[in-house]
Homo-oligomer: A and B are copies of this chain.
Protein backbone atom coordinates (compact mmCIF):
# COMPACT_ATOMS: atom_id res chain seq x y z
CA UNK A 1 0.00 0.00 0.00
CA UNK A 2 1.11 3.53 -0.63
CA UNK A 3 2.33 4.82 2.70
CA UNK A 4 2.58 8.51 1.79
CA UNK A 5 -0.93 8.58 0.41
CA UNK A 6 -2.65 6.57 3.08
CA UNK A 7 -1.20 8.76 5.80
CA UNK A 8 -3.19 11.65 4.36
CA UNK A 9 -6.55 10.00 4.85
CA UNK A 10 -6.09 7.62 7.73
CA UNK A 11 -5.76 9.19 11.11
CA UNK A 12 -2.38 8.70 12.68
CA UNK A 13 -2.50 5.62 14.90
CA UNK A 14 -2.33 6.24 18.57
CA UNK A 15 -3.00 3.97 21.47
CA UNK A 16 -5.73 4.36 24.04
CA UNK A 17 -3.06 4.75 26.68
CA UNK A 18 -1.62 7.74 24.84
CA UNK A 19 -4.97 9.42 24.41
CA UNK A 20 -5.95 8.92 28.01
CA UNK A 21 -2.55 10.16 29.07
CA UNK A 22 -3.08 13.51 27.34
CA UNK A 23 -6.64 13.77 28.58
CA UNK A 24 -5.62 13.07 32.15
CA UNK A 25 -2.72 15.47 31.97
CA UNK A 26 -4.87 18.38 30.82
CA UNK A 27 -7.52 17.42 33.35
CA UNK A 28 -4.91 17.60 36.08
CA UNK A 29 -3.32 20.81 34.86
CA UNK A 30 -6.67 22.54 34.43
CA UNK A 31 -7.69 21.47 37.89
CA UNK A 32 -10.57 19.27 36.80
CA UNK A 33 -8.82 16.56 38.75
CA UNK A 34 -8.13 18.28 42.01
CA UNK A 35 -4.68 18.51 43.53
CA UNK A 36 -4.15 15.77 46.05
CA UNK A 37 -7.24 13.83 45.02
CA UNK A 38 -7.09 10.11 44.61
CA UNK A 39 -7.21 8.51 41.18
CA UNK A 40 -9.83 5.81 41.07
CA UNK A 41 -9.11 3.31 38.32
CA UNK A 42 -12.55 1.68 37.89
CA UNK A 43 -14.21 5.08 37.91
CA UNK A 44 -11.87 6.62 35.34
CA UNK A 45 -11.90 3.57 33.09
CA UNK A 46 -15.67 3.81 33.01
CA UNK A 47 -15.52 7.53 32.33
CA UNK A 48 -13.22 7.12 29.36
CA UNK A 49 -14.82 3.90 28.24
CA UNK A 50 -11.66 1.83 28.30
CA UNK A 51 -10.38 -1.04 30.39
CA UNK A 52 -7.94 -0.64 33.24
CA UNK A 53 -4.93 -1.92 31.29
CA UNK A 54 -4.24 1.11 29.12
CA UNK A 55 -5.42 3.38 31.89
CA UNK A 56 -2.76 2.04 34.22
CA UNK A 57 -0.13 2.58 31.54
CA UNK A 58 -1.26 6.18 31.21
CA UNK A 59 -1.01 6.62 34.97
CA UNK A 60 2.55 5.28 34.91
CA UNK A 61 3.45 7.86 32.33
CA UNK A 62 1.92 10.56 34.50
CA UNK A 63 4.09 9.26 37.31
CA UNK A 64 7.09 9.75 35.04
CA UNK A 65 6.05 13.38 34.51
CA UNK A 66 5.70 13.75 38.27
CA UNK A 67 2.06 14.70 37.99
CA UNK A 68 0.87 11.81 40.14
CA UNK A 69 2.40 9.84 42.98
CA UNK A 70 1.82 6.12 43.27
CA UNK A 71 1.85 4.15 46.50
CA UNK A 72 1.96 0.38 46.01
CA UNK A 73 -1.34 -1.32 46.80
CA UNK A 74 -2.93 2.00 47.59
CA UNK A 75 -3.06 3.86 44.32
CA UNK A 76 -2.20 7.08 42.56
CA UNK A 77 -2.83 10.61 43.79
CA UNK A 78 -2.62 13.87 41.90
CA UNK A 79 0.39 15.67 43.29
CA UNK A 80 -0.06 18.72 45.42
CA UNK A 81 2.66 21.34 45.48
CA UNK A 82 3.49 23.17 48.66
CA UNK A 83 5.40 26.41 49.01
CA UNK A 84 8.86 24.96 49.17
CA UNK A 85 8.24 22.73 46.19
CA UNK A 86 7.04 25.72 44.18
CA UNK A 87 10.21 27.58 45.13
CA UNK A 88 12.29 24.60 44.06
CA UNK A 89 10.66 24.71 40.65
CA UNK A 90 11.31 28.42 40.31
CA UNK A 91 14.96 27.92 41.19
CA UNK A 92 15.29 25.36 38.44
CA UNK A 93 13.38 27.51 36.00
CA UNK A 94 15.64 30.44 36.73
CA UNK A 95 18.67 28.39 35.89
CA UNK A 96 17.29 26.66 32.81
CA UNK A 97 15.59 29.64 31.22
CA UNK A 98 18.79 31.58 31.72
CA UNK A 99 20.45 28.87 29.72
CA UNK A 100 17.74 29.08 27.09
CA UNK A 101 18.40 32.79 26.69
CA UNK A 102 22.13 32.35 26.44
CA UNK A 103 21.73 29.71 23.75
CA UNK A 104 19.07 31.65 21.88
CA UNK A 105 21.28 34.72 21.62
CA UNK A 106 23.69 32.75 19.48
CA UNK A 107 20.99 31.52 17.11
CA UNK A 108 18.20 34.07 16.69
CA UNK A 109 17.74 36.03 13.48
CA UNK A 110 15.72 39.18 12.95
CA UNK A 111 12.59 37.25 12.10
CA UNK A 112 12.69 35.49 15.44
CA UNK A 113 13.06 38.77 17.27
CA UNK A 114 10.12 40.22 15.37
CA UNK A 115 8.03 37.26 16.42
CA UNK A 116 8.95 37.93 20.02
CA UNK A 117 8.04 41.62 19.65
CA UNK A 118 4.71 40.67 18.13
CA UNK A 119 3.97 38.44 21.05
CA UNK A 120 4.78 41.24 23.46
CA UNK A 121 2.58 43.81 21.73
CA UNK A 122 -0.26 41.30 21.85
CA UNK A 123 0.30 41.02 25.57
CA UNK A 124 0.26 44.80 25.89
CA UNK A 125 -3.12 44.95 24.17
CA UNK A 126 -4.54 42.25 26.38
CA UNK A 127 -3.30 43.92 29.52
CA UNK A 128 -4.87 47.23 28.46
CA UNK A 129 -8.14 46.03 26.99
CA UNK A 130 -9.16 43.16 29.16
CA UNK A 131 -7.66 44.87 32.13
CA UNK A 132 -7.18 41.84 34.30
CA UNK A 133 -8.23 38.71 32.53
CA UNK A 134 -5.81 36.70 34.53
CA UNK A 135 -5.82 33.50 32.59
CA UNK A 136 -4.75 35.00 29.27
CA UNK A 137 -2.14 37.14 30.92
CA UNK A 138 -0.61 34.13 32.49
CA UNK A 139 -0.81 31.95 29.43
CA UNK A 140 0.57 34.82 27.38
CA UNK A 141 3.49 35.07 29.75
CA UNK A 142 4.19 31.40 29.29
CA UNK A 143 3.96 31.86 25.51
CA UNK A 144 6.86 34.27 25.65
CA UNK A 145 9.01 31.92 27.65
CA UNK A 146 7.88 29.02 25.50
CA UNK A 147 9.08 30.70 22.33
CA UNK A 148 12.49 31.58 23.73
CA UNK A 149 13.07 28.02 24.87
CA UNK A 150 12.16 26.89 21.39
CA UNK A 151 14.66 29.29 19.87
CA UNK A 152 17.41 27.87 22.07
CA UNK A 153 17.56 24.85 19.78
CA UNK A 154 18.11 22.47 22.69
CA UNK A 155 15.38 19.88 22.26
CA UNK A 156 15.87 18.27 25.63
CA UNK A 157 15.73 21.63 27.34
CA UNK A 158 12.52 22.36 25.50
CA UNK A 159 11.00 19.13 26.63
CA UNK A 160 12.13 19.59 30.19
CA UNK A 161 10.70 23.07 30.51
CA UNK A 162 7.70 23.08 28.21
CA UNK A 163 6.53 19.51 28.62
CA UNK A 164 7.27 19.06 32.29
CA UNK A 165 7.92 22.13 34.43
CA UNK A 166 5.38 24.43 32.81
CA UNK A 167 2.66 21.88 33.42
CA UNK A 168 3.60 21.89 37.07
CA UNK A 169 3.43 25.67 37.14
CA UNK A 170 -0.02 25.64 35.61
CA UNK A 171 -1.07 23.10 38.17
CA UNK A 172 0.29 25.23 40.97
CA UNK A 173 -1.41 28.38 39.68
CA UNK A 174 -4.67 26.55 39.48
CA UNK A 175 -4.20 25.00 42.89
CA UNK A 176 -3.60 28.33 44.59
CA UNK A 177 -5.57 30.51 42.15
CA UNK A 178 -2.59 32.83 42.37
CA UNK A 179 -2.72 36.57 42.00
CA UNK A 180 -2.10 38.71 38.88
CA UNK A 181 1.51 39.45 39.81
CA UNK A 182 2.99 42.66 38.41
CA UNK A 183 1.97 42.64 34.74
CA UNK A 184 3.57 46.03 34.06
CA UNK A 185 7.04 45.29 35.32
CA UNK A 186 7.15 41.84 33.77
CA UNK A 187 6.25 43.38 30.44
CA UNK A 188 9.20 45.76 30.66
CA UNK A 189 11.55 42.94 31.61
CA UNK A 190 10.40 40.94 28.63
CA UNK A 191 11.30 43.78 26.29
CA UNK A 192 14.73 44.17 27.84
CA UNK A 193 15.35 40.49 27.24
CA UNK A 194 14.43 40.79 23.59
CA UNK A 195 16.76 43.79 23.33
CA UNK A 196 19.62 41.68 24.58
CA UNK A 197 18.74 38.86 22.20
CA UNK A 198 18.60 41.30 19.30
CA UNK A 199 22.13 42.43 20.19
CA UNK A 200 23.23 38.79 20.35
CA UNK A 201 24.34 39.45 23.94
CA UNK A 202 23.93 36.01 25.47
CA UNK A 203 25.41 36.84 28.86
CA UNK A 204 23.15 39.82 29.36
CA UNK A 205 20.10 37.95 28.11
CA UNK A 206 20.83 35.14 30.54
CA UNK A 207 21.24 37.52 33.45
CA UNK A 208 18.06 39.43 32.62
CA UNK A 209 16.04 36.27 32.34
CA UNK A 210 17.39 34.96 35.62
CA UNK A 211 16.48 38.20 37.34
CA UNK A 212 13.09 38.18 35.70
CA UNK A 213 12.27 34.79 37.11
CA UNK A 214 13.90 35.58 40.43
CA UNK A 215 11.52 38.55 40.66
CA UNK A 216 8.59 36.32 39.92
CA UNK A 217 9.80 33.98 42.62
CA UNK A 218 9.95 36.82 45.13
CA UNK A 219 6.40 37.81 44.26
CA UNK A 220 5.38 34.24 44.79
CA UNK A 221 7.09 34.07 48.15
CA UNK A 222 5.60 37.35 49.35
CA UNK A 223 2.16 35.99 48.51
CA UNK A 224 2.80 33.24 51.01
CA UNK A 225 3.19 35.72 53.81
CA UNK A 226 -0.54 36.55 53.89
Chain A residues in contact with chain B, CB under 8 A?
A: 13-15, 17-18, 53, 56-58, 60-61, 63-66, 72-73, 85, 88-89, 91-92, 94-96, 98-99, 103, 154-157, 159-160
Contact = CB atoms under 8 A, between A and B. Distances in A.
A96 B92 CA distance: 7
A159 B92 CA distance: 12
Contact of A96 (B56, B63, B96): B96
B160 A92 contact: yes
Contacts of A66: 159
B72 A64 contact: no
Copies per assembly: 2
A75 B177 CA distance: 40
A17 B56 CA distance: 11
Nearest to A168: B156
B95 A99 contact: yes
B156 A13 contact: no
A174 B225 CA distance: 49
Contacts of A94: 99
Contacts of A92: 96, 99, 154, 156-157, 160
Contacts of A89: 156
Contact of A60 (B17, B95, B159): B17
B17 A91 contact: no
